[in-house]
Amino acid sequence: MIVGIPKENHPLEPRVAATPATVKDLIKSGLNVCIESGAGQASCISDINYTEAGAKIVDSGPELLSQADIVLKVLPPTTEEISQLKSHSVCVSFFQTTREIQTVKALTERSVTGFSMHLIPRTTLAQKMDALSSQANIAGYKAVLIAATRLGVYMPLLMTAAGTIRPAKILILGAGVAGLQAIATAKRLGAQVEAFDVRQEVKEQVESLGAKFIEVESDSDDGVGEGGYAKETSEDYKRRQQELIHEHMSKANVVITTALIPGRPAPLLIPTSMVDAMKPGSIIMDLAAENGGNCELTEKDQVIEYNQVTIDGTSNIPGTMPVHASELYAKNITAFLTYMIKDGELNLDLEDEIISGAMFTHKGEITHEPTQEAMSA
């Protein structure tokens, strides 16, 4: 079987779905690997690096897609790329299936089996396939560094001959993988860090990293959803949440938002009125920009200034560290693919929770229930 890795054609996507190390792993599994020329260039991987690992370099994307039995990508294929895929082939990438309905429809029309790295179950067995977490780690880390370069103040407490410099105050909204990494990075830089999350269960993790956990008192598991993800909360909880966030945002130098709900637009945590209350020179890093943003003023892939507050809506922060982002993503997607390979052939065990959980199209049908519901809405 031929595995094809095309060059990502979006101008803001420098990552690639394979590295020389993962090419070797794929070949060990009995697969032939073809890579489009220049696919790894933005991640500092040359065609020669790939050929030395055993891959074949193909000159063009259409040529590669037309011969590949399995296609590995970072972003979902475009409509044009889907038209070039072999019928009954397999495509694996970061599909957001409930938001990319036309892409899903195009895949079913070509009887392409689609797998989304977004849908990998959060289980112990699937941990090494968890691309969302590996990329979120990078986003949390880099968001703090980007904010630090834009701030007009020091991060740490400093004792100088001219007097004492107080540490910057950073507020993290959402204590998932990205949020926890942002806390750890900000603490290493010496900032004073607070974090909020609707899930009371993350309090211990937040405090173990040295941050203060701020919380809305609640008698129920209001924000805890399936698999440990956040879910929609009640209106009363949202009101009290807004009041709490408003109070702490007015004192913060940096606010980093990471709140996402699987399959849904990002929850609105920061209305314009809260931005109005922030200090001049403050920074908002909205890591939910790709899904609409947690801040009302966020503009996807734009950095704007409003009332002397900078709001960064960069949607692909992991892509600002393409070398390690590609290395980690390639390991994740290779672990997933080799899990399905036996004796050099694809073995789609639909009873397997990882395989069935990540699959959303197969044999011309949509197999993922939330995607079916989105299609019919």
Indicate whether 304 and 256 sit together in one domain.
yes
Q: Is 264 a catalytic residue?
A: no
* β-sheet bridge partners, residue 365: 362
170 membership: H or E segment, kind and range: strand 169-173
| C-alpha to C-alpha distances, 80 to 12, 76, 284, nearest whole angstrom | 18, 11, 36
Q: Is 197 a catalytic residue?
A: no
Indicate which residue of 99, 122, 240, 264 is catalytic: 122
Q: In this structure, are residues 18 and 51 in contact, taking their beta carbons and an 8 Å threshold? A: no
C-alpha to C-alpha distance for 179 and 185, rounded to whole angstroms: 10
Indicate whether 223 and 249 sit together in one domain.
yes
Indicate which residue of 46, 83, 127, 220 is catalytic: 127
C-alpha to C-alpha distance for 197 and 182, rounded to whole angstroms: 14
Indicate which residue of 25, 130, 222, 286 is catalytic: 130
Q: Is 133 a catalytic residue?
A: yes
Residue 130 is assigned to a structural domain of this protein: no
Considering 265, 288, 315, which residue would you say is the last residue of a domain? 315
Q: Is 15 a catalytic residue?
A: no
Residue 129 is assigned to a structural domain of this protein: no
Burial 157-196 (b: 16+ CB within 10 A, else e): eeeeeeeeeebbbbbbbbbbbbbbbbbbbbbebebbbbbb
Indicate which residue of 47, 154, 229, 264 is catalytic: 229
Q: Is 154 a catalytic residue?
A: no
Check which CATH number belongs to the domain holding 178 and give it: 3.40.50.720
Residue 239 is assigned to a structural domain of this protein: yes
The pLDDT tens digits along the chain (377 residues) read 999 999 999 999 999 999 999 999 999 999 999 999 999 999 999 999 999 999 999 999 999 999 999 999 999 999 999 999 999 999 999 999 999 999 999 999 999 999 999 999 999 999 999 999 999 999 999 999 999 999 999 999 999 999 999 999 999 999 999 999 999 999 999 999 999 998 889 999 999 999 999 988 766 555 555 555 555 667 888 888 888 999 999 999 999 999 988 878 999 999 999 999 999 999 999 999 999 999 999 999 999 999 999 999 999 999 999 999 999 999 999 999 999 999 889 999 999 999 999 999 999 999 999 999 988 87
Range of the domain at 227: 136-315
Indicate which residue of 37, 133, 242, 372 is catalytic: 133
